[in-house]
Chain A
Amino acid sequence: MIQGKFLILKKDEIGTNVFKLLVHSPEIAKKSLSGQFVNISIDGFLLRRPISISDIDLENGTITIIFEIRGEGTEKLSHIKSDDYIDIIGPLGRGFKLIDNSIKAVVIGGGIGSPPLVSISKFYGKNSFAILGFQNKSKVILDDVFEEYCKETIICTDDGSMGLKGFVTNGLNQLLLREKIDIIYTCGPLVMMKGIADIAKKHNIQCQVSMEQKMACGIGNCLVCACEAKRNNKKTYVHVCKDGPVFDYKEVFFDE
Chain B
Amino acid sequence: MSRLNLSMCNIKFNNPIIPASGTFGFGLMDFFPFDKLGAVITKGTTKNPKLGNPAPRVAETPKGMLNSVGLQNDGIDHLIENIIPYYKTLNPNVIANIAGETIEDFIQIVEKLNHSEVSMIELNISCPNVTQGGMAFGTSKSSIKTLVSSVKKVSKKPIIVKLSPNVTNISEMAKIAEDSGADCISLINTILSMRIDIRTKKPILRTNYGGLSGEAVFPIALRMVNQVYNAVKIPIIGIGGISNWKMAVEMIMAGASMLQIGSATFNQPTTPIDIIDGLEKYLSENNIDNITDLTGSVVLWS
Task: Show the binding face of A for B, using Cβ within 8 Å.
Answer: 1, 3, 41, 45-48, 73, 89, 213-228, 236-237, 242
Contacts and interface: CB of A to CB of B under 8 A. Distances in A.
B interface: dominant SS: loop
B60 interface: yes
A46 B269 contact: no
Interface residues of B, number: 36
B24 A224 contact: no
B90 interface: no
A73 B59 CA distance: 12
Given A217-B266, A220-B26, 15 more contacts: A46-B263, A89-B269, A214-B59, A216-B58, A216-B67, A216-B263, A217-B265, A222-B22, A223-B43, A223-B72, A224-B57, A225-B57, A226-B54, A226-B55, A226-B69
A73 B269 CA distance: 19
A interface: dominant SS: loop
Nearest to B30: A1
B72 A221 contact: no
A226 B23 contact: no
A224 B214 contact: no
Interface of B: 22-28, 30-31, 43, 51-60, 63-65, 67, 69, 72, 214-215, 263-270
A46 B265 CA distance: 9
15 contacts: A47-B58, A47-B60, A48-B267, A213-B55, A214-B55, A214-B56, A216-B58, A217-B265, A220-B25, A221-B26, A221-B27, A221-B265, A223-B52, A223-B69, A224-B69
A220 B270 CA distance: 16
B266 A48 contact: yes
Contact of A226 (B64, B72, B265, B269): B72
Given A3-B31, A46-B65, A221-B25, A226 B57 contact: yes
In order of increasing CB-CB distance, the 4 nearest A-B pairs are A219-B27, A221-B25, A224-B58, A224-B57
